[in-house]
Structure 1
Amino acid sequence: MAITLLEIAKLAGVSRSTASRVINGHPGVRPATRERVLRIVREYGFQPNPVARSLASQRSRKRP
C-alpha cells in the first residue's frame, strides 16, 4: 500500500499542511524541515495521487 501525505507528516514530525507545502514546493518551510520531509518522500517513494489531487482542487481535467 502506498504511503499517504498524513503518514509522511507523522514520520517527519510535522503537520499535514507543512508536508503538503514541502511536496508542492511552496516557500516558508525551514530548510531542515524541508529536507526531513523530502528524505521520507524519497525513502518511501511517495507519488501524489492524480485522482485525489483533482478531487481536492475540484477539477476533473486540465483547463487551458
Structure 2
Amino acid sequence: MLPCRIAKGVVEGPSRNLLESVAQSIAGTTLLEFPQISGVRVKVGKPHVAVQGVVDYLGVEILRSRQA
C-alpha cells in the first residue's frame, strides 16, 4: 500500500475526534506496512475550523520511530 493510500484510508475511515488520533493512525499504519523505514513524520492540517479569530488552518505534527 502506498503512503498516500494509507493517509486516504485513515481520513476516509471511521471518524476521529482529534487530529492527533488521525496522525497517530497514519504513522502507525505506515510503520507496519513499510518495515524498511525506521521513522515517520506526519503533519495533519484541518482547514475550516470553528475557532475564534482568523486562522488558515489548525494542525498537528508528530514524529514516530520504531522501538529498538
TM-score by length of structure 2 reads 0.27
Which one has a bigger Cα radius of gyration?
A: 2
TM-score after normalising by structure 1: 0.29
The structure whose residues are more often strand, as a share, is 2
The structure with the largest helix share of the pair is: 1
